[in-house]
Structure 1
Amino acid sequence: MSMENRGSARRQHGARPKVRAAIAAATTVAAVTALSFVALSASPPASGLTGPPMRAVATSCTTVTQPLGAATGWTEFVEGSGHRGSESEGSIAWGGNLDASGMTVGTRLTSAAGTATLVVAGTHGQYFNLQKGSAYVSPKSGVNFNGGGTYLASNPVDFAAAFTDLRSRSTAWGSAAATGTAAPGTAGGNTVLVLTGTDPTLNVFSLTPAQLTSANGIGYDVPAGSGVLVNVSGSAVTLQGQVWIKQGGTYYQANDSVMESWPGILWNFPTATTVTMSVGSAWGGTILAPNAALTIASVGHTIGQMVAKTFSSNYETHQRLYPSSACLPPTTTTPPPSANRSDVRVVKTASSPAVHGGDTVTYTLEAKNVGLDDATGVVVRDALPTGVTFDSASSPCTQSSGVVSCSIGTLTPGQAKVLTVRVVADPIAGAGPAAHPMAFHELTPYKSEVQVDLDPGQTRTVTVACGAGDILGDGSLRVDHVDQGTGAPTDVRVLSSESTAVGTWKAVVRNDATGRAQAKGFVVCLPGLTEYADRQDGGASRHRHALSADAAVVATTQAWPAGRRTASVACPTGTAPVAPGFSLSGGAATLAGSEPAAGNGWAFTMDVAAPTTATLSVRCLRTTTSAVLGHTHDLVLAHVVRTVSVPAGATVEEQVTCADQAKGVVGTWSLPAGVQSLGNDPRLKARAFRLLNTTAAAQTATVDLECLGDRTTVETRGTVDPLVVVNTATVTSTSVDADPGNNSSTASVTVQPGSTTASVAPLVVARPSRLGVRIVSSMPGSGFVVVRSAGRDGRVLARGRVDLLAGTAQRVHLRLTAAGRRVEDGARAWLRIDPTRGPGVRRPVVVTRPG
Structure 2
Amino acid sequence: MRIFTSAAALAVGGSLALAGLIAPAAQAVGAVGADQECRSLGVANLYGEFIEGDDTHTPDAEGAVAVGGNANFTGGFSVGQELTAAEVDALPGKNALVVAGKITGNNTQVMKGNGIYGSKADGAVVQAHAGAVSQGASPIDFEAEFAKLRSAAAELAAVPQTAGATVQADGPKLAFTGGDAKYNSFTVDAVTLQGAKEIYLKVPAGAVTVVNVTGGAYDMAAAGTTDFHLWDEEKSAFVLDDKLRSAAGGAIRAKLLWNFPSATKVVKNSAAAWAGTVLAPNAAFDLGSGGPVNGSVIAASLTGKGSAETHHYPFTGCLPGTTVPTPTGTPTVPPVTPSGSPTAPVTPSATTGPSGTPGVPGTGKPSTSASASPGPSSSRSSAAPAAPSASAGPSAPSSTGDSLAHTGSGPVLPLAIGGGVALAAGGGIVLAARRRAARKA
- TM, length-normalised to structure 1: 0.33
1:258 aligns with 2:231: no
Taking the aligned partners of 1:300 and 1:342, their CA distance within structure 2 comes to 31
Deviation, 1:244, is: 0.8
Equivalent residue in structure 1 for 2:149, among 156, 166, 169: 166
Taking the aligned partners of 2:214 and 2:330, their CA distance within structure 1 comes to 35
1:68 aligns with 2:41: yes
Equivalent residue in structure 1 for 2:206, among 225, 234, 238: 225
Equivalent residue in structure 1 for 2:313, among 306, 313, 320: 320
Taking the aligned partners of 2:330 and 2:61, their CA distance within structure 1 comes to 23
Letter in 2 for 1:142: V
**Alignment match, 1:194:** 175
Taking the aligned partners of 1:612 and 1:317, their CA distance within structure 2 comes to 26
Higher helix share: 2
Q: Determine if contact 1:462/1:506 at 8 Å carries over to the other structure.
A: no
Cα deviation digits, residues 61-95 of structure 1 (max 9, x gap): x7554511221210000000131022100000001
Taking the aligned partners of 1:65 and 1:98, their CA distance within structure 2 comes to 32
The residue correspondences of 1:234-249 to structure 2 (distance < 5 A) are 234-239=215-220, 240-248=225-233, 249=236
Taking the aligned partners of 1:96 and 1:506, their CA distance within structure 2 comes to 30
SS in structure 2 opposite 1:67?
coil
Cα deviation digits, residues 497-546 of structure 1 (max 9, x gap): xxxxxxx84158xxxxxxxxxxxxxxxxxxxxxxxxxxxxxxxxxxxxxx
SS in structure 2 opposite 1:205?
strand
Q: Determine if contact 2:116/2:136 at 8 Å carries over to the other structure.
A: yes
Taking the aligned partners of 2:304 and 2:357, their CA distance within structure 1 comes to 26
Q: 1:300 to 1:345 in 2, by over 3 A?
A: closer
**Alignment match, 1:415:** none
Letter in 2 for 1:132: K
SS in structure 1 opposite 2:145?
helix
Taking the aligned partners of 2:331 and 2:232, their CA distance within structure 1 comes to 28
Taking the aligned partners of 2:169 and 2:351, their CA distance within structure 1 comes to 34
Taking the aligned partners of 1:80 and 1:462, their CA distance within structure 2 comes to 28
Between stretches 138-147 and 281-290, larger displacement belongs to 138-147
Q: Determine if contact 1:200/1:226 at 8 Å carries over to the other structure.
A: yes
Q: 1:461 to 1:283 in 2, by over 3 A?
A: farther
SS in structure 1 opposite 2:150?
helix
**Alignment match, 2:427:** none
SS in structure 1 opposite 2:314?
coil
Equivalent residue in structure 2 for 1:85, among 58, 76, 79: 58
Q: Determine if contact 2:53/2:67 at 8 Å carries over to the other structure.
A: yes
**Alignment match, 2:169:** 184
The residue correspondences of 1:772-851 to structure 2 (distance < 5 A) are none
Deviation, 1:267, is: 0.6
SS in structure 1 opposite 2:60?
coil
Q: 1:302 to 1:130 in 2, by over 3 A?
A: same
Letter in 1 for 2:232: Q
Q: Tell me which structure has the larger Cα radius of gyration.
A: 1
The residue correspondences of 1:150-549 to structure 2 (distance < 5 A) are 150-151=133-134, 153-179=136-162, 180-185=165-170, 191-239=172-220, 240-248=225-233, 249-256=236-243, 257-258=245-246, 260-262=250-252, 263-278=254-269, 280-297=271-288, 299-314=290-305, 315-323=308-316, 326-331=317-322, 333=323, 335=324, 341-343=327-329, 460=352, 462-464=354-356, 505-506=364-365
Q: Determine if contact 2:118/2:136 at 8 Å carries over to the other structure.
A: no
Deviation, 1:264, is: 0.5
Q: 1:344 to 1:185 in 2, by over 3 A?
A: closer
Letter in 2 for 1:83: T
**Alignment match, 1:739:** none
Taking the aligned partners of 2:228 and 2:331, their CA distance within structure 1 comes to 31
SS in structure 2 opposite 1:506?
coil
Taking the aligned partners of 2:173 and 2:186, their CA distance within structure 1 comes to 15
Taking the aligned partners of 1:67 and 1:613, their CA distance within structure 2 comes to 38
**Alignment match, 1:801:** none
Taking the aligned partners of 1:224 and 1:160, their CA distance within structure 2 comes to 35
Q: Determine if contact 2:39/2:319 at 8 Å carries over to the other structure.
A: no
Deviation, 1:138, is: 2.9
Taking the aligned partners of 2:270 and 2:231, their CA distance within structure 1 comes to 18
SS in structure 1 opposite 2:160?
coil
Q: Determine if contact 2:242/2:371 at 8 Å carries over to the other structure.
A: no
Deviation, 1:108, is: 0.3
Q: Determine if contact 2:198/2:228 at 8 Å carries over to the other structure.
A: yes
1:585 aligns with 2:386: no
Taking the aligned partners of 2:43 and 2:283, their CA distance within structure 1 comes to 18
SS in structure 2 opposite 1:139?
strand
Taking the aligned partners of 1:227 and 1:613, their CA distance within structure 2 comes to 31
Cα deviation digits, residues 557-603 of structure 1 (max 9, x gap): xxxxxxxxxxxxxxxxxxxxxxxxxx45244xxxxxxxxxxxxxxxx
Q: 1:345 to 1:216 in 2, by over 3 A?
A: closer
Taking the aligned partners of 1:149 and 1:231, their CA distance within structure 2 comes to 39
Taking the aligned partners of 1:226 and 1:87, their CA distance within structure 2 comes to 30
Letter in 1 for 2:45: T
Cα deviation digits, residues 818-845 of structure 1 (max 9, x gap): xxxxxxxxxxxxxxxxxxxxxxxxxxxx
Q: Determine if contact 1:243/1:284 at 8 Å carries over to the other structure.
A: yes
Q: Determine if contact 1:134/1:149 at 8 Å carries over to the other structure.
A: yes
Letter in 2 for 1:254: D
Letter in 1 for 2:94: T
Gaps of 5+ in 1: 1-61, 348-457, 467-495, 497-503, 509-582, 588-609, 615-851
Cα deviation digits, residues 162-214 of structure 1 (max 9, x gap): 1011001101111110012111248xxxx321100001111110000121133
RMSD of the alignment, in Å? 3.1
Deviation, 1:613, is: 8.5
Deviation, 1:612, is: 7.6
SS in structure 1 opposite 2:196?
coil
Deviation, 1:241, is: 2.9
Equivalent residue in structure 1 for 2:97, among 102, 113, 118: 118
SS in structure 1 opposite 2:101?
coil
Taking the aligned partners of 2:319 and 2:332, their CA distance within structure 1 comes to 23
Q: 1:154 to 1:270 in 2, by over 3 A?
A: same
Deviation, 1:345, is: 7.8
Taking the aligned partners of 2:168 and 2:177, their CA distance within structure 1 comes to 8
Gaps of 5+ in 2: 1-34, 334-349, 378-441
Letter in 1 for 2:41: L
SS in structure 2 opposite 1:138?
strand
Taking the aligned partners of 1:116 and 1:227, their CA distance within structure 2 comes to 28
Letter in 2 for 1:460: T
Q: 1:461 to 1:105 in 2, by over 3 A?
A: farther
Q: Determine if contact 2:228/2:274 at 8 Å carries over to the other structure.
A: yes
Letter in 1 for 2:54: S
Deviation, 1:137, is: 1.1
Deviation, 1:145, is: 1.0
Q: 1:345 to 1:234 in 2, by over 3 A?
A: closer
- TM, length-normalised to structure 2: 0.62
Q: 1:224 to 1:465 in 2, by over 3 A?
A: same
Letter in 1 for 2:227: Q
Equivalent residue in structure 2 for 1:139, among 119, 140, 147: 119
1:129 aligns with 2:122: no
